[in-house]
Each structure stands twice: as C-alpha cells, then as structure tokens.
Amino acid sequence: MADITVRPMAADDAARVLAIYQAGLDGGHASFETSAPTWAAFDAAKLPAHRFVAVDGDDLVLGWIAVSPTSTRAVYAGVVEHSVYIDPAAHGRGAGRLLLDAVIASTEAAGIWTLQSGVFPENTASLTLHQRAGFRIIGTRERVGCHDGRWRDVVLLERRSPAIT
C-alpha cells in the first residue's frame, strides 16, 4: 500500500474512472448495470465532496469510490450509498481499503451517519473488504433483480458511524 495514495477525484480522471467501472461491470459481479454511464451522468449522480481515487506513484488511477444520496427526503440526509471499483490489475494491493477509509472519514466529517452498499453474494472479495472496514451484513435481498437473464440476490451492507449519534 505504500505506493498507493488517495486523492479527490477530478474531472481529468473521468476516462480512467469509467474504464475501471466498465471493467467491473464486465466481470459480471459488480452491479445490475451493464455499461458505465457517461461522465456527465456519473458526475450528476455522485456527491462531489465524497469522490476519491486511489493512484500509484505515477498518478495512474487504480480504483475509485463515490457516494450517492439514498433519498431526497431530509430525514435520510445522513444516509448514502457508495460504490467502490478497483482495476482488476490492482486487486489485492490495498486500494479498496484506502478508498473506504477515505470515504468513511469524509462522510463522517460531513455528518453522514450511514454508508450502505448492495453487493452480489458471489463478490466475496468485496464482502470481505467491507466487513474488515467495519460494515455489517444487514441481510440478503433474494432475487431482487434480473441480470443477464438470471435473478440475482444482493447482500445489503451498512456501516453506522460510531462518532455520530
């Protein structure tokens, strides 16, 4: 992890962020989506203060994390859903944990008390990563959506901030 740092995501990272997103989608266990959005759609859907990239010593983006609001209702202002994607060539190097730590710090500083994510049960690396970062499994939503012609389960994970009560 010494050669990996985390910094805020910038518009100049768009091509690399979307390529990593697409690589995750192509793997079949990242999302119900099948193609990455345009940068304009991505940018509009993610909260600007909570987007980060993990980069190597040459500033090559190895992965990213971003959050989206779960609802427009004021009562849910402290609850966000996050996505984290790592370049397949960078798996196992610690970028995912660094990104989760960065988004936990930034969301807590902003008064956000709950991070949540839905993960396919087959994505055991993501489930392990999240649990090691303090997320707990809430439950499994069985056959919640159809993906490539097959019904898929989704494991719902959340992390409640111990600093925000």
Q: Which of 23, 22, 56 is nearest to 36 (CA)?
A: 22
For residue 103, name the pLDDT band (cuts at 50, 70, 90): very high
pLDDT score of 77 more than 90: no
Q: Can you give the residue ranges of every domain in the chain?
A: 5-116
pLDDT tens column, 121-152: 999 999 999 999 999 999 999 999 998 889 99
Instruction: Let me know if domain 5-116 sits in CATH 3.40.630.30.
Output: yes
Neighbouring-strand partners of residue 67 = 82
Residue 2's pLDDT is 62
